[in-house]
Chains A and B, each alone.
Chain A
Amino acid sequence: MKGVLTYMHRDFIRWIRYRVGVVSALVLPAAWLIFVGLALPVQFTGNYLDFITPGILVMTILTAGISSGSLLMFDKILGFLNKFLAMPVPRESILVSKILFITVRGILQTTIILIIAVLIGATILNPLQYGLIYLILFLFGVFIAAFSTTVALYLNDHDSFAAFTAMVTMPLFFTSSALMPYDVMPEWLSMIAHVNPLSFAIDAIREIGTGAIPIFPIALLMLFAGVILILAGHMFRKLTV
């Protein structure tokens, strides 16, 4: 566990020193929230901001996490990984630290988005509801971070990986329930949106907003995250033998 924290500490310092990276990670979701949340003329809901905030939160986790598989890939390419692997620290802690770092970093960003949302008029929820939102964002974050790391380890090439993340990010977002409810979608889109993992997280957060506790979606996200974690662990072990 100490190893995990030290590895995370390293990634945090490196992230914070790239100030442009920190700012840009916040500008995109904030722009979505403000320009789309406040400006789009929609009829299907009274407070569109309340409707779109869960979508933007999940999108923030997605964009923060999907390209982060490159963290482990670059450690490998630049020779850090071999140094770390030759240490008596449990090897899995490298993988765990990367996934946790990516997730926690995403959660820090979503916190700022949440604050902005409340400032510009989103409904304030009770602490339990926020706690549940964070639980869902955390599970979804682990899912995305592990997914991204697995793909990066599999592709093992930075250009291919960049092309991959550029390819999946926007389609995943637009085919989810982030921007509109299922009943106003065209049927083909609604079908895709129902199986899009982003929708599970978004719908679950919306359910929390109505006062319910979404046990089934939380369990499902746990299952997703667990399966991808096992896959990531498998890829990592293949790399390190």
Chain B
Amino acid sequence: MTAIETADLTKEFGSLCAVDSLNLNIDGEIFGLLGPNGSGKTTTVLMLTTLIRQTRGSASVCGYDTLKEPDKVRGCLSYVPQDMAVDTNLTGRENMLIFARLYGIDNPKDKVDELLGVMDLSGRADDLAKTYSGGMRRRLELAEALVHEPEVIFLDEPTLGLDVSARKKIWQYIHNLNKKGMTIFVTTHYMDEAEKFCDRVGIIDNGKITALGSPAELKAGLMSDVITVRIEGEYHPVNKDGILYVGNSGDEYSYTSENGSEALPVLADALKISGNNVMAMSIHEPSLDDVFLQSVGKQEEEQGFEEWKYRLMLRRR
């Protein structure tokens, strides 16, 4: 049994296709769905958690179809939305007891004590949640999501709005849960976090998965160095052997090459000759950000796609 499985999962809102033919197979891992705001991440989670109905296709969680057996699906998953919905005028313990009772846990008080301990909230359990920091509220929500020992947890932007140390802590907990055998489905638009903490990621843009695999696999699709160039004014494309254009975000244009320090002066000259106003250049190792640029670029120019792939293959030989 696969924890999460989708087949051509599609959601249309009127003429807008929010999620387009999603095919996923996720089991026992931390899976990150990455993409910019409005790319279809939350819509996907809402369909998988039975909160909205898909237009086409099917999805199953823990082996149960989300449309045919929604109650069983809800029984084996937990969903933490991005809103930070914690009752601030209730204590942490009261918040948790409500969830434990709703899930019909046998010994709600013991279970709550245990989970408050797991999430390092025992010391503040009887304070009102409005005195909690953002990171503590998130941990409280995570603790709530664990009361019925779900097999799958959906976390929508779990680190949104948290400071660096709180984010790290949240990911630590997520990692520990996964080690205990829980499948974790995370959405985020922080590429760096996904790269560090997810076993596998899917990049989604305009409702379509444009790249799928482990961060390392995806980065292997690029050459060993990435050169980022900041260009002011109009961009004039250049074509140089051994240097491939990846994509751009705003006025930053990225290229990839096997030897960045040799390619950089070549690229600088070529860009100047073509009439570009180069402001800054930098070399770094490929990151998921670059993978994202690459995959989005691929999608935008469909016919250029095959040629792109072909040239990359030639370079790698």
Contact = CB atoms under 8 A, between A and B. Distances in A.
Interface stretch (A51-59, A82-90, A137-145, A225-233): A82-90
B98 A6 contact: yes
B1 to A, nearest CB: 18
Nearest to A241: B53
Interface in B176-197: none
Contacts of A240: 51
Interface size class of A (residues with CB under 8 A): 20 to 34
B266 interface: no
A223 to B, nearest CB: 32
Contacts of A13: 89-90, 94
A1 to B, nearest CB: 11
A84 B145 CA distance: 11
B109 to A, nearest CB: 14
Contact of B90 (A14, A78, A85): A14
Q: SS class of chain A's interface: helix, strand, loop or mixed?
A: helix
A82 B51 contact: yes
B252 to A, nearest CB: 34
B89 A18 contact: yes
A241 B54 CA distance: 10
Given A78-B83, A79-B85, A80-B85, A86 B49 contact: yes
A238 interface: no
B184 to A, nearest CB: 15
B265 interface: no
A158 interface: no
A14 B102 contact: no
A86 B102 contact: no
Interface of A: 2-3, 6-7, 9-10, 13-14, 17-18, 78-80, 82-89, 240-241
29 contacts: A10-B98, A13-B89, A13-B90, A14-B87, A14-B90, A17-B89, A17-B90, A18-B89, A78-B83, A78-B85, A79-B82, A79-B83, A79-B84, A82-B46, A82-B79, A82-B83, A83-B79, A83-B80, A83-B85, A85-B51, A86-B51, A86-B74, A86-B77, A86-B79, A87-B103, A88-B72, A88-B75, A88-B103, A240-B51
Given A9-B101, A13-B89, A17-B89, 6 more contacts: A2-B104, A9-B98, A80-B85, A83-B80, A86-B49, A86-B77
